[in-house]
Amino acid sequence: MNPALFTWPLRVYYEDTDVSGVVYHANYLKFFERARTEWLRALGYSQEALRHEVQVAFTVSHVEVAFRMPARLDDELIASVAVTECRRASLTMAQELRLAQDATRLLATAQVRVACVDAVQFKPCGLPAGLRERLVPRLPQPARQATTH
């Protein structure tokens, strides 16, 4: 698996929508979060295990979302995660949400920076070594250069 590119299937449930059957804007953040969590799990890292065994957690430090088209009740979606930058204590990811049956229909995009923090004091700390080692060699060249700053 390429850890710098990942997709995760989702479905829109009634609880995700407003009265018109359109996904409520804040729920796009949940869809993106689920994809990032499953991306991390696919790499062999559970959020809970990282918190308890390594005493680190990830927290969103910045997010920008652009809404293109609405997702609707019962839609099948594909959320993607692409790591664009790996620094000592943070990751930046580009995310997209598309319709599963028509991948040309881009519904939303997000740029998300997550910071790695000490799980007790919530102060920045370095990414777990194993995760960093798996990510850096697979990143595009400009993103790899950013890891030296």
Positions marked active-site: 18
Number of H helices, E strands in the chain: 4, 5
- Identify which of 22, 6, 12 has the alpha carbon closest to the alpha carbon of residue 77: 12
Cα→Cα distances 120→18, 123, 140, Å: 37, 8, 33
Evaluate whether 113 touches 92 at the Cβ level (below 8 Å): yes
Task: Please give the full DSSP string across 14-67, using - where no structure is assigned.
Answer: GGGB-TTSBBPTTHHHHHHHHHHHHHHHHTT--HHHIIIII-EEEEEEEEEEEE
Q: What would the two tokens of residue 117 be?
A: 């923090």
